[in-house]
Amino acid sequence: MEYLYYLGNASLTLRVVEHLHGTTLMPVRFMTVIHQIDGWVVKVKMNRYLSPQEDGDFRAFLNELGIPYEPEIRIQMALWSLETGQSAIDVMRRYQVAVVSHGSPDRGEIEEFRKQFVLGLGYCPETLA
């Protein structure tokens, strides 16, 4: 069971991470976070199917933060490559995407990406707020 959503900024992405850490019953296999110029792609894959109640609750939570996402082929291939074990560096090079995090939901990687990106630009774009 997997969920693929598009979120508007870093704060919303961090809320997903916090939710997954705060809900001990969520059987998360991995979470992938890709930054794009106008937002964030977040994929959460579970180890098992959720009950209809759990699935509905998690979808409702994600729908409050963003919108279900249908990725273009380049993003589909990047997500598939990460899932099959290719390194994030190789995937970023091959598909020209910014893989912020892949694996266990990690707040630190997202915050560090945001910090480095803002430092390089000299200002904070809306998507990194």
Low-confidence ranges of the chain (pLDDT < 70): 24, 123-125, 129
In a domain? residue 63: yes
pLDDT in tens, 37-73: 899 999 999 999 999 999 999 999 999 999 999 999 9
In a domain? residue 129: no
Place of tokens 């850490």: 21
Place of tokens 């970023």: 92
Q: Residue 25, Cβ neighbours under 10 Å: how many?
A: 7
pTM: 0.91
CA dihedral 108, 46, 18, 115 (to 10 degrees): 30
Question: What is the CATH classification number for the domain harbouring 105?
Answer: 3.30.70.1950
What is the residue range of 8's domain?
2-121
